[in-house]
Amino acid sequence: MGEPVVLDATGLKCPLPVLKARKAMRDLPAGGVLRVLATDPGAVKDFEHFCTTTGHQLLATHEAEGVLAFDIRKRPSDSPPSSPLSP
């Protein structure tokens, strides 16, 4: 795949970065990568949970100058989301 699609959610507080990411993921093809930029420190846990519950893959998380970046690969369209309760 090419460059990731970038979603700038800087300045937004929970739950807005995740809600905007969820909407942006709908427009990505399966296997596409979304890079979310956020400044809310709670976004780290929020995106970990988002990926666990949706089946998307959190590829990387990094921080530079107070901006967090999350690279998320959209799950294949034929893969059901994983259940956080499954063994």
Over residues 13-45, the pLDDT tens digits come to 999 999 999 999 999 999 999 999 999 999 999
CATH 3.40.50.300, domain 5-73, yes or no: no
Q: How far is residue 26's CA from residue 45's CA, in Å, rounded to a whole number?
A: 21
4, 5, 12, 14: the active-site residue? 14
Structure tokens at 43: 């976004």
Locus of tokens 């296997």: 31
Over residues 37-77, the pLDDT tens digits come to 999 999 999 999 999 999 999 999 999 999 999 999 999 87
Please report how the helices 16-26 and 43-54 are oriented relative to each other, as an axis angle in degrees rounded to 10.
40
14 labelled catalytic: yes
Domain boundaries, the chain: 5-73
Residue 33, strand partner residues: 73
